[in-house]
Each structure stands twice: as C-alpha cells, then as structure tokens.
Amino acid sequence: MNLARKLILLVALLVCFAGINAGCGLVRREERRAAGEVSRAARKAEERSGEIVWRVKTNRKVVALTLDDGPDPKYTPLVLDLARKQRIKLTFCLVGREIQAHPELARQEVAQGHQIGNHTWDHPGMTLEGERQDVSEIERCEDEIERISGRRTHLFRPPKGLWDGEAFIAAETLGYRMILWSVTLEHHDAKTPEAMAQRVLDGVRPGMIILAHDGEPGHTVHCERTMQALPLLVAGLKKKGYELVTVPELLKIGAEAR
C-alpha cells in the first residue's frame, strides 16, 4: 500500500471516528478494515482499489466525459444521439430510482457501449447518512444496474461529490473506486451554453474527468443549457485533439503511464 493510499484511508477513518457514536466501537472498524484488506487484495488485478480519482496522470490527450443523475427521458436520448453521431463513449453515473423508472434508457446506454457508474439509489447527501444507509443506497442502485445490464459496476460517484469517512468505507468495503471530477460543465460563472463549453475548453488538460448532467434530481441542476453546451464542448475538445474515453479506459491509460 503506497503512502498516498495510506493517507486517504487514514483521513477517511479519522472523519468516520469523529462522526460515529461509542456503540460503533474500535472493534467493528478493525473488522471492516481487515475484511477490506482481504477484498482489496483479491480486487487489485481488476483496478478496484477504493482510491478516490479526480484525474489521471497522462501526457496523452484523453478526457472522460461523465453524465450524472439519469437516465432521464427528456435529456438522455439527446446525449445518446450526440454520442452516436460523434462516435464517442461516455460514462453515465446512474441513480437507481431513475433506472427503475426508465430501464429502457439504461439498457440503451449499455447497448451503445457506454460505461455505467453507481450514483446511489435516491441521490441523498451522503455526509448526512450513516454507513449502513450508505451501503443500502449503493447496493439498491447496484441491484438495478445488474438487473438491466447483467453485470455490476465498480465505479461509484457520491451525489454532489460529497463524502465522509462513512461513505468512503461503505464504497471501499463494497469494492468501488470513487470517481469525482476535475471540472464541471455547469457552473454559476458560465451563464450561456457557449460560456459553459468555453470554460471547460480553456482549462482542459490530459487525463481530466468532466462532469455534466442528463438528469435533474431535486431540480438542483437544469439541463436545457447543458444539452446546448455539450455539442459545443465535444466539437471543441476534438478540435484541440482530445479523444473522449470512458472512465475505465482513462484509468487504464493512467495506470499504463505510471
């Protein structure tokens, strides 16, 4: 286990320790850590290390474009149509209840060769949940992913990118790599689709993970401008010589560059 990995686990465990009650106890945490060490050893060859990823180190001009909070019948078909026309592969971080409501869209994402990630069942604030509830949120979503795709994912993105020690341990124990992002397409400083795309293009670097949305849980993000910005962003990235890949492909490229 390298130093960076040890530090991540140490910080997560310290945060967890501060937020749990006395009943949780050191014994339970040690048992989880021991079980996690065994499962991590078995998963190492498959790159499921529990690390938190914002970006990968590479000199190759590749980025991963990720879409959160779907599938949504209004917006997801537009994204899939863009991806098909532009011949790009995306990573969709799906909400379990939305998969249940729109399974045909999730199946279409898989059929077109896109990658699926777990974005919880109900899109809660995971810093407000206990570990048991965190596990339930992840597992319920995963059950839906397996039901529509026939396979499980090992990518997890916490809603709004918020996580604490409990959420980290839940994802770690279940065998996920936590995927965050380097830059967002939607941002309060960018008021128009053109400004949204340009903001990302101005700051893009090899190995970045770009966050956008094709769903609106809680209506915290409105996707009309996103749908207009996405074609501009994809065209701009290609003009700059960037290839759009899935998150697992990006992780593999990063691992090969080490």
Is the CB of residue 77 less than 8 Å from the CB of residue 223?
Answer: no
Q: Which of 68, 69, 72, 134 is catalytic?
A: 68
211 DSSP β-pair partners: 66, 184
Asked if residue 8 lies in contact with residue 52, where contact means CB atoms within 8 angstroms, the answer is yes
| CATH for 33 | 3.20.20.370
197 pLDDT tier (thresholds 50, 70, 90) = very high
Q: What is the mean pLDDT of the segment spanning 37-47?
A: 38
Q: Looking at residue 220, what is its pLDDT?
A: 64
- What pLDDT shows up at residue 129? 64
Look at 47-61, 76-90, 91-105, 219-233 and tell me which has the smallest mean pLDDT.
Answer: 47-61
Where in the sequence is the domain holding 171, given as residue range(s)? 3-257
Instruction: Choose between 181 and 41: higher pLDDT.
Output: 181
Task: Label residue 216 by pLDDT band (50, 70, 90).
Answer: confident
Mean per-residue pLDDT of the chain:
84
Least confident of 91-95, 208-212, 220-224: 220-224
187 is annotated as an active-site residue: no
> Which residue is catalytic, options 189, 213, 214, 219?
213
Q: Is the model's pLDDT at 256 over the cut of 80?
A: yes
pLDDT, tens digit (0-9, with 9 covering 90-100), for 144-170: 999 999 989 999 999 999 888 888 888
pLDDT, average across residues 132-154: 92
Question: Total structural domains in the chain?
Answer: 1
pTM: 0.80
What is the CB neighbour count within 10 angstroms for residue 115? 21
Spatial neighbors of 43 by CB under 8 A, at least 6 apart, are: 49, 154, 175
Determine whether 213 is an active site residue: yes
